[in-house]
């Protein structure tokens, strides 16, 4: 009950901040993004510090190699510098993968244990960063973002698989299924769920990119000579096309 209460409050806050950034843009959005990045950086660092103090660090369980774990520092850097590629990784990884970790948590700790807060803060923080950057601040995924992020995800998964084989670990559940019930159980037995997950990732990325695809298509259909008049009617160009908006660049 405590888990869902905290997640619900965090989700409502993230939604409100994203809507406010969309409707009332200004310098405060950059402050909000960087604050989110600092929270994510602190969350990532707290894992290392806690395991060092407890002397429980192990290469088989403590490396931040799960996609949800690596998404935390990626999202933190994206919030601070808002580089387009990092924003794309945060957006697709956060909304296609980290959301699943929130809905079906692989979490043994309970409130108010430290791991409980680390898990919730990391997962909610990544989702918040994804929505704030891509939707609120309007740093939309660029053309060919889906194949680009898929290629990087595949390369990263292969690297993690090699580390699993070398250390005997089970990062990203590549060697055996998780102990707790997760969506992976719906994708077939090991190792077939790895291939199924790749297909689900592709479909999820395409769906997540679809609103921006339509926006890019509409933008390409508008002649350049017409765009200033559109802006005068209250439809600024950065609100309908991908890339970093002029508003975001002025505030960086």
Distances (CA, A) of 214 to 125, 211, 224, 242: 27, 5, 18, 10
User: Which tens digit of pLDDT belongs to each residue from 87-110?
Assistant: 999 999 999 988 887 887 777 777
User: Which tens digit of pLDDT belongs to each residue from 142-167?
Assistant: 999 999 999 999 999 999 999 999 98
Please, how many CA atoms are within 13 Å of residue 160, restricted to the half-sphere of its CB?
A: 22
pLDDT for position 230: 43
pLDDT for position 160: 95
pLDDT for position 233: 43
CB 145 within 8 A of CB 92: yes
pLDDT for position 110: 79
Could you give the CA distance from residue 179 to residue 61 in angstroms, rounded to a whole number? 14
Q: Which among 46, 45, 91 has a CA at the least distance from the CA of 71?
A: 91
Which residues of the chain are modeled with pLDDT < 50? Answer: 228-244, 246-252
What are the backbone dihedrals phi and psi of residue 185, each rounded to the nearest 5 degrees, phi first?
A: -65, -25
pLDDT for position 221: 76
pLDDT for position 246: 44
- Within its chain, how far is the Cα of 74 from the centroid? 8
Domain layout of the chain by residue ranges: 2-251
Could you give the CA distance from residue 77 to residue 68 in angstroms, rounded to a whole number? 15
The neighbouring-strand residues paired with 140 are 243
């Amino acid at each position: 009950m405590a888990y869902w209460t905290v997640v619900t409050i965090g989700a409502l806050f993230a939604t409100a901040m994203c809507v406010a950034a969309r409707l009332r843009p200004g310098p405060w959005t950059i402050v909000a993004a960087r604050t989110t990045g600092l929270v994510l950086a602190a969350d990532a660092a707290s894992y290392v510090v806690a395991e060092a103090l407890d002397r429980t660090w192990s290469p088989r369980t403590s490396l931040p190699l799960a996609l949800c774990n690596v998404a935390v520092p990626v999202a933190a850097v994206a919030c601070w510098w808002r580089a387009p590629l990092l924003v794309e990784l945060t957006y697709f990884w956060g909304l296609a993968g980290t959301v699943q970790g929130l809905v079906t948590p692989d979490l043994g700790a309970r409130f108010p244990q430290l791991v409980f807060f680390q898990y919730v803060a990391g997962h909610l923080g990544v989702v918040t960063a994804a929505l704030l950057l891509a939707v609120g601040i309007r740093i939309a995924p660029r053309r060919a973002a889906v194949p680009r992020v898929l290629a990087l995800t595949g390369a990263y998964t292969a690297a993690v698989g090699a580390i699993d084989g070398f250390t005997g670990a089970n990062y990203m559940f590549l060697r055996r299924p998780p102990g707790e019930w997760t969506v992976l159980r719906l994708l077939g037995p090991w190792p077939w769920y790895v291939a199924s997950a790749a297909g689900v990732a592709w479909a999820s990325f395409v769906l997540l990119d679809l609103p921006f695809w339509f926006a890019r298509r509409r933008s390409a259909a508008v002649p350049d000579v017409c765009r200033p008049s559109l802006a005068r009617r209250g439809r600024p160009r950065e609100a309908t096309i991908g890339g970093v908006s002029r508003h975001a660049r002025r505030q960086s």
